[in-house]
Amino acid sequence: MKKLITPLVIVILVILLVSSSFYQGKDLKVFDKVRQDTSGNYPDGKYEGKSRYNYTDEPYWGSVSITVKNGSFTEINFMIRDSNLHETFNEDYEKHFQGNPVYIEQCRNDWEGVQIYPKKLIESQNPDKIDAVSGATWSYNIFKASTREALKNAKKQTDTLSILKN
């Protein structure tokens, strides 16, 4: 009887090990789907957010406006304002850095980011799936932080709506 139990236990252990390795792969895929922060989690409306990210020693503020319609991000407007000079960061902003080619190039890269990041968010429908454009990390960080603030406001509205429904 002992001779029969030992091989049977070994076979059962091997089956458990093999099946658990397949299960873990499936579990990761399900987990990734659950973690997605898509616009479908937000009610229709227009949400605004502002942030400086960690650039608190600088006079720049990012401002984003996100429109959610039928569960999707449909319109996103983003800009960065210089609160000292009272002007918007745009393609002409490099004029403040004449004679400094490094800063001029940085302005150009970040201006490209300001234009691209809203489009990327509409395409991906997921703030976590937007990658920084090379050389435009400053505008990327401000965009992501401003977007988080706007969606935090949307989340508050979602929480309020669920309380009202109950």
User: Angle at Cα 129 formed by Cα 113 and Cα 82, nearest 5°?
Assistant: 30
pLDDT of residue 154: 82
* 59 and 25 in a common domain: no
Pairing assessment for the beta strands 87-88 and 60-69 based on DSSP bridges: unpaired
Name the pTM for this structure. 0.72
* 83 and 148 in a common domain: yes
Domain containing 70 equals 40-165
pLDDT band (50, 70, 90) for residue 54 = very high
pLDDT band (50, 70, 90) for residue 153 = confident
pLDDT greater than 80 at residue 113: yes
* 116 and 91 in a common domain: yes
* 133 and 94 in a common domain: yes
Tokens of 129: 């799936």
* 149 and 104 in a common domain: yes
pLDDT greater than 60 at residue 99: yes
* 49 and 106 in a common domain: yes
